Each structure stands twice: as structure tokens, then as C-alpha cells.
Amino acid sequence: MDSTLVPAPLALVTGASSGIGLEIATRLAELGHDLVVTAEDEQLSLVADGLTQHGRAVRAVRADLTQAAGVDALVTDVVGTGRPLDVLVLNAGVGAGGAFLDVPLEDDLATIALDVVAPVRLAKALVPAMVARGAGRVLITSSVGALMPGPYYATYAASKAFDLSFAQALRYELRDTGVTVTALLPGPTDTDFFERAGMEDTRVAHGGKDDPADVARQAVEGLLAGDEKVVVRSLRARGQAAAGALLSDGAGAAVQARFVEPLERGPAPER
């Protein structure tokens, strides 16, 4: 059979306009995947044009995944390609930094809508076809911040804890279907996350960060291998993961608070 007639695998990457999502999309394109990329940013079309340099077909779908209508439009577009989805990367996310009582309610609800509700909606809509085919790879971006309570970005840390639990539970349910689910746990990464979350004036924002391209390479390697979990291989990420495994919730909350509290508030009280 002429191998040129075999269609390339198709991957959907959410949150693909920058940061880890863009680097994951780039890596998948380099490995021969056609792409559907989505974000709400105006620059998405430019990003998609750049991704075509890898010789793959790239479809850009601008959508607000905090809204059910945005999720539905994305699903309709993916299904409308008439092609099976081989890889589903649920990466889009946002945070709201600051003391919970100071953060506007709408910011917390937007975090939950994008980080929790959208992945559930997309998985519910797109994973059944993978199971029916008996093949597929799913990546859900969590965070090492999910491993401990997260004062001063409470809804973000809680949302990422949901993502980790959801990924692991779904993986177990699909264990005999040919579809794997991998949780990605990056540490602090050099993206625009801290600026978007209003966390520029924190210790973690001023500290060292991982290269998003390195994070993406590890993520895609684990995703395609069907690994259960990818904890980014850096001292920062591994150290935070180890602390989450060893510390009590109270002690873990104190550790996280030290790094993510607004610096003008002064140090967190001792626990």
C-alpha cells in the first residue's frame, strides 16, 4: 500500500496560542500530526500559519472555552473534519492570583470554567469516538501546584487538583479500551501565566522557570507512550512534587503560600 495515501494522525490542542500549548502543538506537528488548534486570542491565526512550516495541515478555531457555546463550536468543527481524532490535548487554562476574598468572583468562575468545566465538556464530547475506534491518546494539563492546597491562587490550585484526579480516574475507566489518559504536571514555566493571573509580584514569578519547549517535549513523549503521568523533569518541579507527597495539607499550604502570596503583603504567618 502506498504510504502517501495514509492520512496523518489528527491532534486537537487547546490553549495553543502560546506557552506550553503552542510548544506541544509544534512538537506534534514535527512528529507528523495534522492539527486543530484553539484559543480565544486574536493571534491564533498567526500561530497557525507559523505551525504550517512543519509541513502539516493546521486548522485554527478561535473559541472561548469558558462558554458552552465555544466548546460546542469547537466540537462541531472537529467532527466536521470527517477525520478521527487521534490525540486530544486539554491544555487551556488560566489562574486568578491573590487572596480569595480580594479576587473578583467572575475571575474565579472563569478559572473554574476554563480549567475544570471545559475539559469535562470536551472529554465527554470527543473521547467516546476514540473508545469506539479502540485507539487514542489524551493529555490533561494539571500542575505540580495541584499536589498541595494553594493559598493566594485558591481556585487555580483546586482546579488543577480536579484535573489530576479527573485524568487518573478517566484513565482507569478506559484501561481496556485502547485509549490512554496522561496527566501533565509542569512546575513554574516561562510563559505569560503569571502576568495573566496577576501574579507578577510573587516569589515564584521572580524565580527560575522551566523552558516551555522542554516541558512540551516531555509531555508529548509521555502522551504518545501512554504514560499515566508526566512530572516535568526539573529540580523545581520534582522538588514541589516531593513536597506535596511528604507534607501535611497544612504544611503544604504554608509552603505554597510563601511562593505565591503577593509580596507587598509580607510573609505568610507561620503554621
Catalytic site positions: 156
Longest CA–CA separation in the chain, Å: 68
CA–CA distance, 43 with 30 (Å, rounded to integer): 21
C-alpha R_g of the chain:
18
Cell of 22: 503552542
Q: Which of 111, 67, 92, 58 is nearest to 184 (CA)?
A: 92
Q: Which of 127, 124, 163 is nearest to 15 (CA)?
A: 163
What 3 state SS string does 14-56 have?
Answer: ECCCCHHHHHHHHHHHHCCCEEEEEECCCCHHHHHHHHHHHCC
**Is the dihedral angle over the CA atoms 262, 265, 266, 269 positive or is it negative?**
negative
120-125 LR contacts (CB < 8 Å, sep 24+): 120/166, 121/68, 121/71, 122/14, 122/65, 122/71, 122/74, 122/75, 122/88, 122/90, 123/88, 123/90, 123/166, 123/170, 125/71, 125/75
**Is the dihedral angle over the CA atoms 215, 196, 203, 105 positive or is it negative?**
negative
Nearest-5° angle of CA 224, CA 78, CA 30? 40
Cell of 35: 492539527
